[in-house]
Amino acid sequence: MKRYHVFISGRVQGVFFRNTTRKKAQELGVNGWVKNLEDGRVEAVFEGSKEKIDAMIDFCEIGPRLANVEKVEVSEEEPENLDTFKVKR
């Protein structure tokens, strides 16, 4: 089990980034959360196998159709054994 904390910059709010990230995580069986930040970035935490998290990070580098991702920052953390994936408000 791995855990990665991700910050996505660019045109990533108001383009269904959180919802499509949740759907992709549920499709892959990745747990964690995603939320918008006041500075315009999207923040996410992914927990699961390295391969599945790599797929989530690959998704974040492109985002949904209307997004324009400029930068993705990733750091590894200690897993908290989350059991769902949710959109935080």
Is 11 in the active site?
Answer: no
Which of 3, 11, 31, 36 is labelled catalytic?
36
Answer whether 8's CB lies under 8 Å from 72's CB.
Answer: yes
Give dist(CA 61, CA 71) in Å, integer.
Answer: 7
Is 19 in the active site?
Answer: no
Which of 3, 18, 22, 41 is labelled catalytic?
18
Task: Report the interhelical angle of 50-62 vs 17-28 (nearest 10°).
Answer: 160
Catalytic residues, by residue number, are 18, 36
